[in-house]
Amino acid sequence: MRPFLDGAFGNPSSLHHEGRVAREAVETARAQVAALIGAEPDEIIFTGSGTEADNLALIGAVRASGGSGHVVTSSIEHAAILETCRFLAGSGTKITYLPVDADGIVGPESLLRALQSNVTLVSVMAANNVVGTLQAILELAHLTKLHGVLFHTDAVQAGGKVPLDVNQLHVDLLSLSAHKLHGPKGIGALYVRNSVRLSPIVFGGGQERGLRSATENVAGIVGFGAAAEIARQELADEATRLEQFRERIATELGRVLPESYIFGHRTQRLPGHLSFGFRGQEREVGRLLAALDASGVAVSAGSACSAHHSGEPSGVLLAMGYDSERARGLLRISMGRFNTQQEVDRFLQILPQAVATVPRTSIPGHQPGPDIRAAAHAGGVVGENRPDLRGLRSARENLCRPESVS
């Protein structure tokens, strides 16, 4: 990125030498981002963020449809999707929210039901930011395609962490954000299949195939391209390494801290992501976070975007069937390519000490409810209304080995 922050200030739309240098750098990065998801370079539209990519996908598809539209999405999407849906609903778009089971997985039955009506676009995230669960994107996109409906996936969390191939997965639109794969903040991309018609949401000079007018953020785009290239090369090894870290932490949690319980699917989840809570300390996550922070461990409570609402139950956990007490008490660790085994060891030393410093609260009238800890550690579920998922292939399998669908 440095040359483009320090001297190479050409505008990629300019025809002079400096402009051509910038254009070449942008196009190299476009090819690098495309290669990460098996797309053609001209199917990548650079945006200012993952949020903007999500907005463009949903609003762009509804506007291009010529009517008020019908968007089907899941109940555990990121605010970038949920708030866009709220905006669209205000202008008359019908929105259907698909339920999830206690692991946070969208079942194909509810999607099939939703597809019985006239649908403009289905949008289901590839990986959830709060609980890390991977969705069976291949199966959901395949069903959607059979109904001739567009499929978008918010792959901001999944991009560069699990294999994604837009053609094998049958997706038409896919959102990415550079900072989730060690690139710079403030740069995202939307994959737009060549056959898909979208209307822009930003108007001006017609850059990015007219879908995202504005002079390109050349340094950001170059950084995104480099990050995508490294992620693509190291994805398989990194996923294995981070999965080992995650499993070690999950096992130790169950062994050393029996009051702990894990949120999300036990195995069908992002390699370096684990979210958990502590029975009886649900209201104390803020103190736990502060105790860990004081020891040099950076963890999150819920999603970074909702951190300012901290103390409120997580909408994702409520949708998964947790009661409001449990849904308050989520801690999330995210590990990446710079985390080491030593750091994992250190975390496992510090965590029990931090937990011991935080008081237990008994909550008046609060029933512990079903044994979430035991169920979650076993990869099981809680709640009465769990859809029958026996026929559903593993979400991970669907994401990683798309050719398995006939």
Residue of 269, 305, 310, 318 whose CA lies nearest to 288 = 310
Determine, following the binding rule CB under 6 A, whether residue 80 of this chain makes contact with ligand PLP. yes
In sequence order, which residues have a C-beta less than 8 Å from that of residue 243 and are 6 or more positions away? 271, 272
Number of residues that bind ligand PLP (CB under 6 A): 14
Nearer to ligand PLP, 88 or 375 (CB): 88
Residue nearest to ligand PLP (CB): 50
The residue annotated as part of the active site, out of 236, 305, 363, 374, is 305
- Residue 123 or 168: which CB sits closer to ligand PLP? 123
CA distance 104 to 123: 15
183 vs 254 by CB, closer to ligand PLP: 183
The single-letter code of the amino acid at 158 is A
Per-residue binding string, ligand PLP, 52-71, x by CB under 6 A, is --x-----------------
**CB of residue 183 vs ligand PLP: minimum separation in angstroms?**
10
Residue with tokens 């995210």: 334
* 305: annotated active-site residue: yes
By CB under 6 A, the residues from 83 to 142 that bind ligand PLP are 125, 129
- List the structure tokens of 82: 């949920």
Q: Is 49 a residue that touches ligand PLP (CB under 6 A)?
A: yes
Binding flag, residue 51, ligand PLP (CB under 6 A):
yes
Task: By CB under 6 A, tell whether 188 contacts ligand PLP.
Answer: yes
User: What is the smallest separation between the CB atom of 181 and ligand PLP, expressed in angstroms?
Assistant: 11
**Could you tell me the smallest distance in angstroms from the CB atom of residue 56 to ligand PLP?**
12
For the bound state, the minimum distance from the C-beta of residue 125 to ligand PLP, rounded and expressed in Å, comes to: 5
Pick from 268, 247, 35: which is nearest to 138 by CA? 268
Cα 115 off chain centre by: 23
Q: Which stretch binds ligand PLP (CB under 6 A): 45-53, 233-241, 243-251, 335-343?
A: 45-53
CB-neighbour burial class of residue 288 (10 A; exposed 0-12, middle 13-18, buried 19+): buried
Sketch the per residue contact string, 303 through 332, with ligand PLP: x for CB under 6 A, - otherwise: --x---------------------------
How many angstroms separate the CA atoms of 92 and 189, rounded? Answer: 27
Closest CA to 283 of 364, 348, 202: 364
The candidate with the shortest Cα–Cα distance to 285, out of 350, 353, 358, is 358
| 17: exposed, middle or buried (Cβ count in 10 Å: 0-12, 13-18, 19+) | exposed
Show contacts with ligand PLP in window 135-174 (CB under 6 A). Answer: 154, 156-157
What is the C-alpha separation between 182 and 287, in angstroms, rounded? 28
Helix 285-294 to helix 341-357 angle (10° resolution) is 130
Nearer to ligand PLP by C-beta: 129 or 281? Answer: 129
Minimum gap (Å) between residue 94 Cβ and ligand PLP: 22
Amino acid at 210: G
CA distance 51 to 175: 8
Query: Minimum CB separation from ligand PLP for residue 272, in Å?
Result: 14
By CB under 6 A, tell whether 76 contacts ligand PLP. no
Report angle CA 381, 104, 62 to the nearest 5 degrees: 155
In the complex, the residues that contact ligand PLP under the rule CB under 6 A are 49-51, 54, 78, 80, 125, 129, 154, 156-157, 177, 188, 305
Annotated catalytic sites, by residue?
A: 305
